[in-house]
Amino acid sequence: MGRPGTGGGVRGGGVRGGGVELPESEWVPMTLDTPFDLASLTKLFTSVAAVQQIERGRLGIDARVSAYLPDFHAVRRYGTTVRQLLTHTSGLRPELPLYACADDTERLELLRAEEPASAPGTYVYSDLNMLLLQHVLERLTGRTLDVLVDEGITRPLGMTSTDFGPCPGAAATEDQRRPWAKVDRGMLRGEVHDENAWALGGVAGHAGLFSTGRDLAVFCRTLLNGGSYGTARILGADHVDLLLDRPGLGFAVDQAWFMGELAGRGAAGHTGFTGTSLVVDRATDTFLVLLANTVHPRRRQGGSGPRARAGTRVARAVRGVGASGLV
C-alpha cells in the first residue's frame, strides 16, 4: 500500500516541473482503513455485475450488444457481442477523449459512432468495452451502475467502504496538470483520477470505484468461496468459474508480468493505473491485494515489477519455499 499524500488544491512547478506535494509535516498517515482509487479494478465489479445478469438469464453472453443498444450503430454493424466486451476482443481501441467533449450528449454520440479499430476477435485491452457494458447493464436493468454494484455486490457483502466517489479521506493521486495529464485539475484526493471517468461524473464501467484493503479482501474471499461470503451469495460457483477460468471475463488469467509466480495455475486478477492490483489464486486458496498511489504526485514511467515481486513472495510462501528463496 502507499502513502496517502496531500490534500486538495495544491499547485506548483513549471510546465516542465513535477507534481507538488505538501510539506512532510502536513502529510496524512495511511491506515488500514484508508480508501484508494481503484482505477481499472473497477472493471472487475462491472464484470461481476454483468455475470449476475447472465446467471439470471437476462443477459446473453453471446448475444449481440445491439440487442440491448440498438442505437449504437457502429457495434451493430460489426455484430459485437457481450462476450467480446468482457474478454476485450471487440477490436475497439483502448480509449476515446471523452474528457474533451462539451457535454454528455457529445460523449454518447462519440461512443455510438466508434467502430472497431482491429478485427473483432482480436485482443485489444480497451476501456471502451466496459463503458459499452455499462450502457448495456443500465439499459437492461433500468438502474445505474453504482446502484447495481451497491445492491448486487458491496451491500450484500458488507463492503461498506467501497463506492464510487467522491471519497473524502482517500489517498491522494495526482497533481494533475498538463503536459503529463490530459486535463488541468490540480491535486486530486477523493476524486476519480481517470479523466474519462471524471468527465462521466465519476461513475464509469472502467474506473471510478474507491475501496480499502479490508473490503477487497472480502471481495477476493467471496470469489475463492465460489460466490458466497458468510450468509451472502452474489454468484453461483459455476458463474464464478465463468469469470475466472481462461480466458477470463473481465479478469486477466495467468499474467506473470503483474502476478509473478502466482501465475501459471489459473490465477486471475487485474491491475489499476493508480498503482492497484488484485490476484485470486484458486490453486492455493490465496489472494493478494496491493493498494498504492504511485501516480502521486505525478504519473511517470514505471512498471509492474513491485506487483510481480509481491506475487512471487506470496506464491513461494504458500507453496512452502523457505525464506532464503524469497526475492
pLDDT of amino acid 22: 75
Indicate whether 10 belongs to any domain. no
How far is the CA of 71 from the CAs of 74, 76, 94, 108, 135, in angstroms?
A: 9, 8, 21, 10, 11
**What letter would DSSP give residue 210?**
E
Please report, for the domain that includes residue 209, its CATH number: 3.40.710.10
The grid cell for 161 is: 467502504
Beta pairing, strands 186-189 & 172-176 = antiparallel
For residue range 235-285, what is the model confidence (pLDDT) as tens digits? 999 999 999 999 999 999 999 999 999 999 999 999 999 999 999 999 999
Range of the domain at 127: 24-325
- Tally of structural domains, the chain: 1
What is the mean pLDDT of the segment spanning 169-184?
A: 93
Indicate whether 13 belongs to any domain. no
Q: In the structure, what pLDDT confidence band is assigned to residue 301 with cuts at 50, 70 and 90?
A: confident
Q: How far is CA 80 from the centre of its chain?
A: 22
Model pTM greater than 0.85? yes
With a pLDDT cut of 90, the percent of the chain lying above it is 87
Indicate whether 85 belongs to any domain. yes
Indicate whether 16 belongs to any domain. no
Indicate whether 19 belongs to any domain. no
Indicate whether 15 belongs to any domain. no
The grid cell for 65 is: 450488444
For residue range 59-74, what is the model confidence (pLDDT) as tens digits? 999 999 999 999 999 9
Which residues on adjacent β-strands are paired with residue 280? 268, 287
End-to-end CA distance of the chain: 18
Mean of pLDDT over the chain: 92
CA distance 123 to 314: 29
Indicate whether 7 belongs to any domain. no
Indicate whether 12 belongs to any domain. no
